Amino acid sequence: PPPFTGVWMGDSKLCAIGVHCGQHITSHGLALNCCTDLSWFDHIVPCGLEGKGVTSLSHELGQHVAVSHVLEPFLDSFQEVFDCTLVSSEDPG
């Protein structure tokens, strides 16, 4: 929910998106919870947001959702939305 970044299911974050800038270096990342053990989040305040939770695709759909099932459609959608071509370090050339 605004003003929080990421992808939310109600009051629980499904996907975290972050950007860090410091000492002339910029880094960014994305974490989509597919089949994450959510019990680890009981020990922290995720993203520093009191009263907000964390969820996963597996939890929301009530079935195991492996990263391998999500990766290709996610990357296809990413390329379409951002009008880019992704290149893997494993790709020859």
pLDDT of residue 46: 84
33: buried, middle or exposed (CB in 10 Å: 19+, 13-18, 0-12)? buried
- Bridge-partner residues for 17, per DSSP? 30
What are the domain boundaries of the chain? Answer: 7-82
41-65 tens-digit pLDDT? 989 988 888 889 999 999 999 999 9
**Annotated catalytic sites, by residue?**
47
**pLDDT value of residue 91:** 59
Joined tokens for residue 12: 């629980």
3 state SS of 72: helix
Minimal CA–CA distance to 31: which of 42, 43, 41?
Answer: 41
Residue 1 pLDDT > 60: no
The CB density around residue 56, as the number of other CB atoms within 10 Å, is 20
**CA 63 and chain centroid, separation:** 18
For residue 17, how far is the Cα from the chain centroid? 6
Each residue of 6-33: pLDDT tens digit? 999 999 999 998 889 999 999 989 999 9
